[in-house]
Amino acid sequence: MTLSENLLLRLENPDLFAAIADAPRLPLSSGGKTFSVFNPATGELLAELPDMGVAETQVAIERAAAAQVEWAAMTARERSDTLWRWHQLIVRHTDDLAIILTAEMGKPLAEAKSEVSHAAAYLQWYAEEANRIYGETIAAPSRDRRMIVIKQPIGVVGAITPWNFPASMVARKISPALAAGCTVVLKPAEQTPLVAGAMFLLAERAGFPQGVVNLIYASEGDAVGRELCTNATVRKISFTGSTEVGRLLMRQCSDQVKKLSLELGGNAPFIVFDDADIDAAVDGAIQAKFRNAGQTCVSANRLYVQSGVHDEFAAKFTERVKTLRVGDGFDGDVAIGPLIDTHALSKISGHVSDAVERGGRILCGGHRLEGSGTFYAPTVLVGIGRDMRIAREETFGPLAPIIRFDDSDAVVREANDTIYGLAAYFYASNLSRVWRVAEALEYGMVGINTGRMSSEAAPFGGVKQSGMGREGSRHGLEDYLEMKYLCMGGI
């Protein structure tokens, strides 16, 4: 089992990455069961991977548990050095990792490179942060006592990642866990396991002791997920994906009161007020809406534009959208790749036809593009009503619905009227408005006069049904640490 000839030919180091199928280093699935990975732009078969199940997951969990004590006992500096070596290997192999990522996921190569750099930045950040785990001493209320708080790693972590950022999500989960002294069993999405496999091959070269990082390839995520949630050796689940699956994992973890970090779905509002810089707002909306073909959890899903600037914004924005070239991510000037699969195509088509039936008007796009890949034309819709599916559901595709509004307070209420609370954006210049709106939006992250805010230095995460916990920044490390209170008496 290996990568396809075509993909190997694109790589600088085909010999290194040809071993992706063996990256888990676990007993292969019984009966030699495999699953296929395809390029969504061309339909080309990229790889056949061993299809692992509950038995392999149990082996991986046992290995992670066996390695945990030694890994946690290492000094922070030793853990930091290993993470640092992994970071450097990822930087060195950025081009190959990006090629693998584009092949399996479809995003333009430049975006894939930027994602790999972002993944490397998390490893660097947590290599540094590993050295900054602090406890505290507390002034005791009685003379014969001393009170201290220490921080310890939670233990074995089960991590499950989605297909839309298959490299950076792996780094964002694993690096704080490892920095804290946890060991990890990770299952990437079925559609995009290859770049995770490539990163694990580099982790091996970086010198992590055996069992510290473990990879499960699986086509049946539910069986592996259930094992991770219900196996008592796993002390924490870290999941990024849909709210629906997040709820299910939460239920499965409840019997053991297992700790959870959940990065779930969003329905981001993007609000342009009358006093905004319209050209800057158009730039920001293009980034927030069309990066990764709109397949990001922080994608602008509803564009609210105040009446005074609505027509100008809609015209300028539509002109820009028309220039976005759609195609194979390996073609030089492509801005938008394919959607991940035909389900994604059906969802966006359903949102467009529902909107048009209820009176929405298409300014550009609104249809699937010819060819074998899962391409959809970048689309702008106006005349959007609150009853339409696009006003309520996450589209996860290159569709921008523009909703006209008049009242500034009402638009914030409407933006908050959702079960989600991940990211929100707004453009305005009046300082008093900027503060009021920023504070009133019920979201974990708010972009003010910017369409892009993700960074390893910032706490990424949502409120309401967009999840719990934070990834990135010093707060991301805390999510993998337990607090232990030591009370010494008889002094």
Binding site for ligand NAP (CB under 6 A): 160-165, 187, 189-190, 221-222, 225, 240-242, 245, 248, 263-266, 297, 394, 396, 422, 462, 467
Q: How far is the CB of 260 from ligand NAP (least distance, A)?
A: 12
Nearer to ligand NAP, 205 or 247 (CB): 247
| Strand stretches in 27-178, DSSP E | 34-38, 45-50, 136-138, 146-153, 156-160
Place of tokens 């299910």: 248
Q: How far is the CB of 153 from ligand NAP (least distance, A)?
A: 23
Nearer to ligand NAP, 97 or 245 (CB): 245
- Say whether 229 is catalytic: no
Distance, CA of 3 to chain centre? 25
Nearer to ligand NAP, 327 or 467 (CB): 467
Nearer to ligand NAP, 58 or 430 (CB): 58
- Say whether 364 is catalytic: no
Residues 162, 240 contacting (CB under 8 angstroms)? yes
Nearer to ligand NAP, 239 or 313 (CB): 239
Q: How far is the CB of 109 from ligand NAP (least distance, A)?
A: 20
Nearer to ligand NAP, 53 or 383 (CB): 53
Q: How far is the CB of 444 from ligand NAP (least distance, A)?
A: 9
Place of tokens 């990834």: 471
User: DSSP 3-state assignment of 224?
Assistant: helix
As a whole number of angstroms, the distance between CA 104 and CA 127 comes to: 28
State the burial class of residue 21 (Cβ atoms within 10 Å of its Cβ: 0-12, 13-18, 19+).
buried
Kindly state the greatest CA–CA separation across the chain. 79
Nearer to ligand NAP, 226 or 404 (CB): 226
Q: How far is the CB of 273 from ligand NAP (least distance, A)?
A: 26
DSSP 8-state secondary structure symbol assigned to residue 22? G
DSSP 8-state secondary structure symbol assigned to residue 387? T
As a whole number of angstroms, the distance between CA 194 and CA 163 comes to: 11
Catalytic residue of the set 111, 182, 297, 414: 297
Catalytic residue of the set 263, 394, 414, 471: 263
| Residue 480, token pair as written in the block | 């993998």
What values do phi and psi take at 416, rounded to 5?
A: -85, -10
Q: How far is the CB of 107 from ligand NAP (least distance, A)?
A: 13
Residues 234, 61 contacting (CB under 8 angstroms)? yes
| Residue 223, token pair as written in the block | 């069986």
As a whole number of angstroms, the distance between CA 409 and CA 440 comes to: 9
Q: How far is the CB of 229 from ligand NAP (least distance, A)?
A: 8
Q: How far is the CB of 189 from ligand NAP (least distance, A)?
A: 4
Select the residue whose beta carbon is closest to ligand NAP and give its number: 225
Pairing mode, if any, of strands 34-38 and 45-50? antiparallel
The H or E element containing residue 83 is: helix 76-92
Nearer to ligand NAP, 35 or 408 (CB): 35
Distance, CA of 198 to chain centre? 18
Short-list 189, 205, 216, 204, CA closest to 101: 189
Q: How far is the CB of 446 from ligand NAP (least distance, A)?
A: 15
Residues 148, 136 contacting (CB under 8 angstroms)? yes
| DSSP bridge pairs for 101 | none
As a whole number of angstroms, the distance between CA 29 and CA 18 comes to: 19
Sign of CA dihedral 147, 148, 149, 152: negative
Sign of CA dihedral 56, 78, 126, 198: negative
User: Distance of CA 117 to CAs 12, 98, 253, 455, 475, Å?
Assistant: 18, 9, 33, 11, 21
Nearer to ligand NAP, 147 or 453 (CB): 453
Q: Which residues are catalytic?
A: 263, 297
